[in-house]
Structure 1
């Protein structure tokens, strides 16, 4: 008898990858809705912090209907790979490393979020703002990052805070125009208007990193209708729609040339 059995074994039922895109189900605090929305783009290019051998810069803001993604880049005259063992320089940890690169936002209403805490997507709407950073790779001397921030900032100044003690960068604040970010949100365009909602007998499997998460709807056969359950599409008031939507083609890209409100503050 052979040690290895003859023929392939039966494959498990789960995970079941989705073969068709369903309509946007909300939960805008979990991450950018890249499968359904083309964001408005604010072409802001700002040096956020600088030391003798390192520069941290903002290279634009992607604005979603209810959140924003800050595109951050790090440039260095030293090899950055030794500082990014996990593929990112901004790292959420249980015990924050206050000598590493830290990013934070402070809204005009006093609410705040930063990379010093672990940011895990939640099933229900959080009580506080969310900041989630993700490395986008680069080279030994240049790294890109997406810093997702939910919700949209209220009108007024939004401070973007950077600190990197190991690289000689003390806490540095840059003031951005929160109203301009919020005002760009209606220009985000829905790609697939009218997609069907997922029904209770579907078996969606959404990949989260290297794992697969089966939705509550799959397990129970019902949808949640409790408090905090988001609507299918971001609500902007009765009868409101995305201002750049084209019923025939899904969306028409818009432009927004609004500039940041202020400059770095030490």
Structure 2
């Protein structure tokens, strides 16, 4: 009797796979907080950044990394802000809603960054500061965000700017001590000194049997690329 399933085994496609071992930090301090490698210094500078009768945008803490910082910001409200806190209130994937929540920073030298820009990590070091906000949970009445900022400020004022027209919060500027933030970076602690690097043709790889999968650095754009086998495999 002939087989019902007539097709023979097919070659399995080669896809990027998650790393199973932690390798050395790639040195791109401007892409994201190095949370897998560093315990940050923490500055407990809780204070409101902007407010109206029913809404408060508040800084809770600042995490300081060797070359960047993260502002932990929570939005509090007396009425429901979102149905799903995981969606957050800032969306870097499209052009900003200028009636919605806007967050920016102004360095002492006049350079700036804000949530107006679409957030796409750069392979090379940017010439301008980087700001990227993402939601980290909360409730419908208290939505938490991490606002990553690179580079560290110099000594002098670092101004955080908040505006939310729909919530009656006008443009509000709060001055932070840039020198104190920069000084705190020395207290950020490395977790795994001496990690080895995994490199093949300049790209991180994950070996699967006799094949090698090139692991993307980040995000959907890299994940959409089909990797090629390493030479000699």
Q: Same fold (TM over 0.5)?
A: yes
Aligned pair count? 219
- 1:50 aligned residue: 51
Aligned residue for 2:48, secondary structure, equals: strand
Distance in 2, Cα, partners of 1:2 & 1:163: 68
How far apart are residue 109 of structure 1 and its match? 0.7
Aligned to 1:120: 120
Larger radius of gyration: 2
Unaligned runs of 5+ in 1: 223-266
RMSD: 2.9
1:210 Cα deviation (Å)? 5.7
In the TM superposition, structure 1's runs of 4+ consecutive aligned residues that sit over 6 Å from their partners are: 1-9, 218-222
Measure how far apart 1:130 and its partner are.
Answer: 0.3
State the match for 1:158 in structure 2: 158
1:203 corresponds to: 205
Structure 1 residue 71 displacement after superposition: 0.1
How big is each residue's C-alpha offset from its partner over 1:56-97, in whole Å with a ceiling of 9 and x where there is no partner?
Answer: 100000000000000000000111115x79701022254221
Could you tell me which residue of structure 2 aligns to residue 35 of structure 1? 36
With normalisation by structure 2, the TM-score equals 0.84
Residues in 2 aligned to 1:220 and 1:125: alpha-carbon distance in whole angstroms: 28
State the Cα distance separating 1:209 from its structure 2 match: 4.9
Contact 2:39–2:188 (Cα < 8 Å) also in 1: yes
Counterparts of 1:58-207 in structure 2, within 5 Å, are 58-81=59-82, 87-200=87-200, 203-204=205-206, 205-206=215-216
CA offset at residue 197 of structure 1? 1.5
Residues 79 and 198 (structure 1 numbering): CA distance in 2 closer, same or farther, change over 3 Å?
A: same
Q: Which string of whole-angstrom CA distances, capped at 9 and with x for unpartnered residues, describes residues 192-212 of structure 1?
A: 001111132761424745675
C-alpha distance 6-115 of structure 1, shift in aligned 2 (>3 A) = same
SS at match of 2:205: coil
